Structure 1
């Protein structure tokens, strides 16, 4: 294995500035030397995670999540996940196929994630039933592969033009013949087939890594041979065309398969699965992420990170590091998640993307994976400042521990509630990464390098540090309480090693004691380093101040969120099942922190006093509001700014009132009753909701149409204008708008007004409406494109109400 080439750490400058302030306070409080180098103690140049089987969680919200996940894993049926695998191999089917995505053309993805989750859970807990299920699934897959006869071991489906669902294996001969058709997520009638296949490869590799199942590698090698033949039939141009369709981390799997088998064919294949359009700009240090589907890209960078570790290619490391820095510092929300409606947007525009479609959970799952790679190359606490942020505030928020169910999105728009999966009929990608995330909460608490032990996450747990034949216990109520105790519970004799405790960038005046006395500690890269001769029974205590602070969005200092230590706080707006129609809360005052007082410090509950608008409000930990509506981001004003904002609000209300007076008919797309009332018809068209507005789109080869009234009191009102509402950031949407079969507009949405709603007016020729009580409006996408989404359509007169043109 090639020694990793360290990335340029200057990309972390903002975090280092914060870190410097914390380090100064740390040294002042513990009386340490000026820096670690002067003391001859340094942070090691590389690190590895302590194997998860050597870590056991103690009572905490993280352990609650693991226990809830075990129940769900045991509820799920291996045979139901295996349904298509058995069916398409001609073997007896043993269980009914699951619903949701598992019954769609992405079928089979669930089994791979399930195999990974079981393997991880076995390592995390030692649960023997998890091991038994892993063994059973791998054995069944070996039977499937033998029955297929050519190495293929898939379960994807393909939708033919007549709408029938068939074995997706039939797309591969077409692809090998050069017939490659994709609109981004569809490949020859299958939904992201390589993405689904990657999950199976990842599951097989995890079965080997965590459960020692070598048969899993045999199955992976056989299936890899089939995929290798598909790629071998294509030239570079055809390969790039095929890779326009989401392929997950398939290249990472082949890189890892190379490391397990030492067969160079897998490394060659891994390096060939390379999306030039996305990855070349990142290697050049260019942020061109806007309008790319976020979770499609993150696994590609994880794969480059893994390839760098194998080959030492510095350009791979540069791309992965640059991507991480841009996403975490310029594209991420306060909870550590990223993207809006699953897509990256322009950097430093967070404030214009606070919607109910923020933060796909898969994205954070993958960003944490990428963070682990980068940290291992050059340990620095700033990586785990981000990791902790996303792990606590997004990943832990994603699973409702009462039910064990998972949220797809983590909505940050005021008044929205999380929507959780059902046990048997969803299997969204985020459900499946969720069962993995909540099987491994102990995988990054402790890291090691020679005789240095890093403590990166303060989660109650026990540790067996096999390298030093030592055992430890970490006890804390963090992040509700800043006191952390780390005890050496077992050690033969006395042994010298370094304990590296992460001091978060937000922490000031931290205090470290060893056996109740001030520790001789040094500081480097965000760590307090304590090196001494340790004995069983030694106890290190760390006290971190959990002060309140506001954090503004990247690019807009007027939009803020409230944090306490690593924990994001949110305003409780009522039960999820209760409707909420209020205005988004705001904060008004010259000194906002002074206007917040504790209700319960132990439970991290606070209230505002006089600074809340429209009234005072109560803050609680964001992650734990699984069944509540929240407000997390706030516009902040001084008194003069608030008065001005109210004037603008009243002016907008007057405009809307005038427009309503001129309206002849209004179509609320995406709402069941209005669509029925207007006789909506559609194909390959779906309702959507975004920023509190409902709408509808139509995908390629589809359409949607509906009827609208054109008269008042049975009389013509003159020329009419059709107005459609779009989100101004929409890009590359191309469609026609027809009235009674006649095209009145050819629309191309090109991101003409990013971050804002836009109303586009289309005058209707009078001859199309004259003498008609109704007309049919149709939105018709061009091939390979999407129509909309359209968030409402109005017909109104060109002149003031009551007059004719």
Structure 2
């Protein structure tokens, strides 16, 4: 009887397409990127735009410093921007990885040829040096000259370590740059077995193994206080490639206790940490866990991912304000023009794939899909192949993209090269006998395990249905197909096989259909794409609008037209009822009667490449709006007025603004209070930076925190003292601005001035949480 019951159950399962929950594999892996080809879609367009960009770059220009610092002639002039600064070389590492990914995604053989050429040139430079080191990073000496950055490492080995978080002995994040080159070499080796790439990587690893071996634990922690990227990941990967455990030992020692110990302990101490400095460290921990099997690295990786995605992320899946994590669940108070650095999301998606490979869970890819669609796809301008550094969510803030003429080569240009070379990499996964579909992106894939060709046809998330066809199936038979059902779809998703409805088994966010499959079979998933509101962490009444996984934004017009109005608000009881699709298959909507001051059109946020947007809205009832409107408009007007009168703005304590304003300092440190970054100067030191001016009366405005201990400092403009500032705890719990009117003769005929903060003896200057050069309002006359 028992045998008959089992046989009947199996037949029933086959008839209705159900499967045991155990059909989800324990350790899934993605189908190789080289086995996936994208079909026409915005993702395929992004890849092709990026391919054109990659092939437009000059390998020899990126190699310039590698050659010159090795004593070899350069074949082309150096690029500008970051590549002419002391962080030079990081772009080449990204470029190597991007070429590998583009070759896999498209089969472009020129990408492989270029990667092999770069490796051969690096090998030549490494051999010329004779130390194992190869690099392009520079070192800025006290006289301002930039020289070969290798000269800092003997100093480090002697214990001479000076760092403010990004600067190490006069070089900008040098170990971060080393990691990018290291990772690129390993990617070339892994893609097609280029042994020369592994040799160069091993030489580089050996050089830095000696550097680290010279340091005791305290010195090592001091060194790791400077951004080191995912260098731990590269050493772990080298151990896996070579089978040599010595490299895993180095990887394990690259462990920043200040940040990572709380993650292991399950404590959210992320506030005030530079976000993208931390994410690669955790990606490295994930790789280390995969090799040593120890639990603490896995615990830290899981806790970090959960903490960042649930308590530190914006609606588009990105994180950080002006590059820094803030207090947990404080997103609503950090909706600024500097949100969501692309590199952070690039690395968070890498971490997501590691965690998914340990245990499949649809929730992981719910996050992945959201960040991939709304942030990564927003970070490339398909018109000119430009990449964004930040993706601003402040109402009316325009996106800023690199252009080929800029030669900026930000970190996010590098991660952008990679992100838009691999949009097919995480669509299909396999494990055991199961095929999993995690992303609904039009694609064709070869599934070797079943000698199959898979065709995924969809206009999702613009339309609700996605159809997977087993176009070829060399090994037909029974196996499970698991389709991710996003959590927001609830129990309203439907599945059909060859047009007939089936009732799948649901497990961990997947609809699983286990049956005998044959060539030509079609399984389709349809999900509801209703609108919904999502509150920002920290304020239930700061909301964004989503349609399925897609974030919608109010279209505020082209970038060329400045947004100088009050931020729009939503007012009413049933807000979503006021949205009307026009037309529905394009995810565009009009509103009627709920937006103050007037109705707006809503469109997919990611596609607002050259247009201004509103993503987050304050939500009010009709009664509350009448009470709040006056105060709301007054504060908005004040902020708009300051912005309109600003000639130049300096965000102190932030890497790129400080470089843009030529900051110099001594005994000065970046700080962050209440999510705002700043910088102070201690007794005997100073901080100085350049600010733009314009004709007419000007004032320097500085922002301070009202809860400081007593301190005094002078403020000088072009070496003329304009004020002495006293701070003490007299304005608890708030930031405040102080305006320092400047004598007209101090700025007359000048395009810029130097602003200097100097502490009194045994005191501190600041912290200063930003400075502005503003136009003085004319005095009203009767």
Question: TM-score, normalised on structure 2?
Answer: 0.86
Distance in 1 (alpha carbons) for counterparts of 2:79 and 2:263 = 39
Q: Which moved more, 1:454-463 or 1:737-746?
A: 737-746
Q: Are residues 695 and 486 of structure 1, via their aligned partners in 2, closer, same or farther at CA, if it must alter by over 3 Å?
A: closer
Aligned to 1:630: 613
Distance in 2 (alpha carbons) for counterparts of 1:784 and 1:572 = 45
Counterparts of residues 223-262 of structure 1 (less than 5 Å) = 223-262=204-243
Aligned to 2:758: 780
Counterparts of residues 127-276 of structure 1 (less than 5 Å) = 127-276=108-257
The answer to whether the 8 Å contact 2:707/2:728 transfers is no
The answer to whether the 8 Å contact 1:498/1:531 transfers is yes
Counterparts of residues 547-626 of structure 1 (less than 5 Å) = 547-626=530-609
Once the two structures are TM-superposed, the CA of residue 670 in structure 1 deviates from its matched residue by 3.4
- Out of 352, 355, 369, the position equivalent to 1:371 is 352
Which whole-Å deviations, capped at 9, do the CAs of 1:610-638 have from their partners, x for residues lacking one?
A: 00111000000011110111001100101
Distance in 2 (alpha carbons) for counterparts of 1:364 and 1:653 = 30
Q: Which moved more, 1:494-503 or 1:728-737?
A: 728-737
Q: Are residues 532 and 103 of structure 1, via their aligned partners in 2, closer, same or farther at CA, if it must alter by over 3 Å?
A: same
Once the two structures are TM-superposed, the CA of residue 192 in structure 1 deviates from its matched residue by 0.1
- Out of 292, 296, 315, the position equivalent to 2:273 is 292
The alignment partner of 1:602 has SS state of helix
The answer to whether the 8 Å contact 1:734/1:749 transfers is no
Aligned to 2:417: 435
Which whole-Å deviations, capped at 9, do the CAs of 1:763-799 have from their partners, x for residues lacking one?
A: x9xxx99xx99999842379999863434479999xx
Question: TM-score, normalised on structure 1?
Answer: 0.84
Aligned to 1:13: none
1:465 aligns with 2:447: yes
Name stretches of at least 5 consecutive residues in structure 2 with no aligned partner.
1-14, 651-659
The answer to whether the 8 Å contact 2:450/2:474 transfers is no
Once the two structures are TM-superposed, the CA of residue 104 in structure 1 deviates from its matched residue by 0.3
Aligned to 1:790: 770
Q: Are residues 233 and 536 of structure 1, via their aligned partners in 2, closer, same or farther at CA, if it must alter by over 3 Å?
A: same
The answer to whether the 8 Å contact 1:698/1:704 transfers is no
The answer to whether the 8 Å contact 2:700/2:771 transfers is no
Which whole-Å deviations, capped at 9, do the CAs of 1:147-166 have from their partners, x for residues lacking one?
A: 01010111100000010111
Which whole-Å deviations, capped at 9, do the CAs of 1:499-542 have from their partners, x for residues lacking one?
A: 00000011142111111112241110000000111100101111
Once the two structures are TM-superposed, the CA of residue 599 in structure 1 deviates from its matched residue by 1.3
Aligned to 1:406: 387
Q: Which moved more, 1:130-139 or 1:511-520?
A: 511-520
The answer to whether the 8 Å contact 2:321/2:334 transfers is yes
1:737 aligns with 2:723: no
Aligned to 2:11: none
For these two proteins, the number of residue pairs brought into alignment is 727
1:80 aligns with 2:45: no
Aligned to 1:329: 310
The answer to whether the 8 Å contact 2:566/2:637 transfers is no
Distance in 2 (alpha carbons) for counterparts of 1:254 and 1:773 = 53
Q: Are residues 475 and 263 of structure 1, via their aligned partners in 2, closer, same or farther at CA, if it must alter by over 3 Å?
A: same
Distance in 2 (alpha carbons) for counterparts of 1:117 and 1:695 = 33
Distance in 1 (alpha carbons) for counterparts of 2:730 and 2:298 = 33
Aligned to 1:675: none
The alignment partner of 1:335 has SS state of coil
Once the two structures are TM-superposed, the CA of residue 555 in structure 1 deviates from its matched residue by 2.3
Once the two structures are TM-superposed, the CA of residue 744 in structure 1 deviates from its matched residue by 2.6
Distance in 2 (alpha carbons) for counterparts of 1:749 and 1:292 = 25
Q: Are residues 96 and 450 of structure 1, via their aligned partners in 2, closer, same or farther at CA, if it must alter by over 3 Å?
A: same
Distance in 2 (alpha carbons) for counterparts of 1:389 and 1:341 = 21
Aligned to 2:736: 758
The alignment partner of 1:623 has SS state of helix
Distance in 2 (alpha carbons) for counterparts of 1:729 and 1:623 = 38
1:450 aligns with 2:432: yes
Distance in 2 (alpha carbons) for counterparts of 1:413 and 1:191 = 29
The alignment partner of 1:357 has SS state of coil
- Out of 505, 513, 516, the position equivalent to 2:487 is 505
Distance in 2 (alpha carbons) for counterparts of 1:757 and 1:378 = 45
Distance in 2 (alpha carbons) for counterparts of 1:108 and 1:259 = 25
1:703 aligns with 2:703: no
Distance in 2 (alpha carbons) for counterparts of 1:135 and 1:795 = 55
Once the two structures are TM-superposed, the CA of residue 93 in structure 1 deviates from its matched residue by 0.5
Once the two structures are TM-superposed, the CA of residue 214 in structure 1 deviates from its matched residue by 1.7
